[in-house]
Amino acid sequence: MKRKSIAVILAAVLTLSLMGCGAKQEAAQPAAEETTETAEEAPAAEAPAADASADGNTLTVWCWDPAFNIYAMEQAAEVYKEKNPDFVLNVVETPWADIQTKLTTAATSSDLSSLPDIMLLQDNAFQKNVISYPDAFTDISSSGIAFDQFGAAKLAYSTVGGKNYGVPFDNGAVISCVRTDVLEKAGYTVDDFTDITWSRYIEIGKDVLAKTGTPMLSMQAGETDLIMMMLQSAGGSLFDAEGNPTIVNNAVLAEVMSVYQELIKSGVLIEVNDWDQYIGTLTNSTVAGTINGCWILASIQTAADQSGKWAITNMPKLETVDGATNYSNNGGSSWVVTSNCKNVELATDFLGSTFAGSVKFYETILPSSGALATYLPAADSSVYAEPQVFFNDQAIYSLITEFAGKVPSNNTGVYYYEARDAVATALTNVVNGADIASELQAAEDTVKFQMGQ
């Protein structure tokens, strides 16, 4: 296929494909724990039970979303058949909620025989599951898979106790998207938003608002997505390495809350009531940009009349935090080999030869699924380097893959979602004028109570 044709296809399909990476389920539940690859949940009873394959050259996989994860798995099988012609892959469509339920049921009953050879786990739930149900997973650290070919932050999600339990898949790297036509009216370009600090972002945002009447950002009220993105960009977490909450006396988190408070106070960021309204602010030109996981590109591109009026760059960084970066992550998933797998060598060779070893594979799935790799060598692919008309002819795919390799790691642990919810309550109160320190104390007290401490 000619490169020009590929570029046309890439632009056309991203609206549908990247939804598998975040936007599909985000429409119903936008919190990061429901991110990218959770397609709108299918009825739980539809997926038949299927345990690990006994055949020596067959693997059974559980994952969700036919247009994204399932498609990628099926294409991986075709690529792998070039090496192993007799290979057979049995993919069972299983919604994420069902995977979590089936895993929990199997592990708590001490009967893991119902699990498949390979299954997909959301990154933010990965460590919780491995820590809670260690007997259900296979340590694949010594499998020969090239784990160093993935960004450190992405790899950290599937690494527990220094051991590798998963193979990273889709990309949730954070991007800052801006409307170039709005910025031009205020005398700015996307370059003015590249490698900047949050204070500079707010300064420019106030100027853009004054000159055009358009805020830079919108967020759903009561959600912590931006808080968590800012926190991770500076290497911050809600837990320490031992899983203890670090909400109180967390200087990075306090700074993040302060920045968010200033974004609201200045008018640079407006809050809306729900996810549909958030997407509406992007497609109806209410705001001049957004900061989110790269899967947000699908929603942006639904506004066909805005083609050529958008560009992407990295996010602002916290200037008061040593080691802070302009990079973060929001969403993603990884493949895991279960302890019920009858042929671990086949499973790891399959994953290592495709998701962790083949640029050709990622070039194959990108045009039809928009599945952006966290496999770093893919960034040098000629397909990833294709300019995208909708985004001012930027090579957005290679740029996003580059961003993914620069994201700092963070700790999630078992009580990650409980901590997010507690911080969300604190954020709402802070926006309404409450004291940051007091709210963070209340949030940590809540998490400790839930942990039984």
pLDDT surpassing 50 at residue 418: yes
Domain check: are 236 and 160 in the same one? Answer: no
Are residues 226 and 344 both part of a single domain? no
Same-domain status, 222 and 276:
yes
Residue 392 lies in a domain: no
Same domain, 44 and 159: yes
pLDDT band for position 396 (cuts 50, 70, 90): very high
Residue 10 reports pLDDT greater than 50: no
pLDDT at 50: 55
Residues 195 and 242 in one domain: yes
Decide if 219 is inside a domain.
yes
Is pLDDT of 18 > 70? no
pLDDT per residue over 36-52, tens digit each?
A: 333 333 344 344 445 77
- Confidence category of residue 54, pLDDT binned at 50, 70, 90: low
pLDDT of 200 strictly over 80 = yes
What per-residue confidence (pLDDT) applies to 218? 98
Per residue, what are the HEC states of the chain?
CCHHHHHHHHHHHHHHHHHHHCHHHHCCCCCHHHCCCCCCCCCHHHCCCCCCCCCCCEEEEEECCHHHHHHHHHHHHHHHHCCCCCCEEEEEECCHHHHHHHHHHHHHCCCCCCCCCEEEEEHHHHHHHHHHCHHHECCCCCCCCCHHHECHHHHHHCEECCEECEEECECCEEEEEEEHHHHHHHCCCHHHHCCCEHHHHHHHHHHHHHHHCCCCEEEECCCCHHHHHHHHHCCCCCECCCCCECCCCCHHHHHHHHHHHHHHHHCCEEEECCHHHHHHHHHCCCCCEEEEECCHHHHHCCCHHHCCCEEEECCCECCCCCCCCCCCECCCEEEEEECCCCCHHHHHHHHHHCCCCCHHHHHHHHHHHCCCECEHHHHHCCCCCCCEHHHCCECHHHHHHHHHCCCCCCCCCCCHHHHHHHHHHHHHHHHCCCCHHHHHHHHHHHHHHHHCC
The confidence score (pLDDT) of residue 372 equals 82
Read off the amino acid at residue 399: L
Of 341, 367, 383, the position where a domain reaches its end is 383
Over residues 293-349, the pLDDT tens digits come to 998 887 898 899 999 999 999 999 999 999 999 999 998 899 999 999 999 999 999
The C-alpha atoms of residue 310 and residue 301 are separated, in whole angstroms, by 9
- Rounded to a whole number, what is the distance in angstroms from the first to the last CA of the chain? 60
Q: Both 21 and 88 in a single domain?
A: yes
CA distances from 168 to 24, 154, 194, 321, 363 (A): 20, 7, 27, 29, 16
Residue 68: pLDDT over 50 = yes
Residue ranges making up the domain that contains 79: 3-172+332-383
Q: What is the pTM of this model?
A: 0.79
CATH number of residue 276's parent domain: 3.40.190.10
* Residues 6 or more apart whose Cβ sits within 8 Å of residue 91: 60, 61, 63, 70, 73, 74
Residues 180 and 155 in one domain: no
257-294 tens-digit pLDDT: 999 999 999 999 999 999 999 999 999 999 999 999 99
Spatial CB neighbours of 82, under 8 Å, sequence gap ≥ 6: none
The proportion of the chain whose per-residue pLDDT surpasses 70, expressed as a percent, equals 88
Read off the pLDDT of each residue in 206-214 and give the average, rounded to a whole number: 98
Same domain for 345 and 199, yes or no, is no
Residue 402 in any domain: the answer is: no
Q: Would you state the pLDDT for residue 370?
A: 72
Please tell me whether residues 368 and 283 are part of one structural domain.
no
Q: For residue 206, is it within any domain?
A: yes
Residue 60 in any domain: the answer is yes
The number of C-alpha atoms within 13 Å of 86 and in the hemisphere containing its C-beta is 4
Together in a domain, 151 and 202: no
Clarify whether residues 202 and 287 are in a common domain: yes
Q: What is the mean pLDDT of residues 163-172?
A: 94
Is residue 407 pLDDT above 90, yes or no?
A: yes
User: How many domains are contained in the chain?
Assistant: 2
Q: What average pLDDT does the chain have?
A: 88
57 inside domain: yes
Query: Are residues 362 and 319 both part of a single domain?
Result: no
Residue 405 lies in a domain: no
Quick check: 404 and 384 in contact, CB under 8 A?
Answer: no
Q: Answer yes or no: is pLDDT of 431 > 70.
A: yes
Q: Is residue 280 part of a domain?
A: yes
Q: What is the per-residue pLDDT across 124-164, written as a single tens digit (0 to 9) for each?
A: 899 999 999 999 999 999 999 999 999 888 999 999 999 99
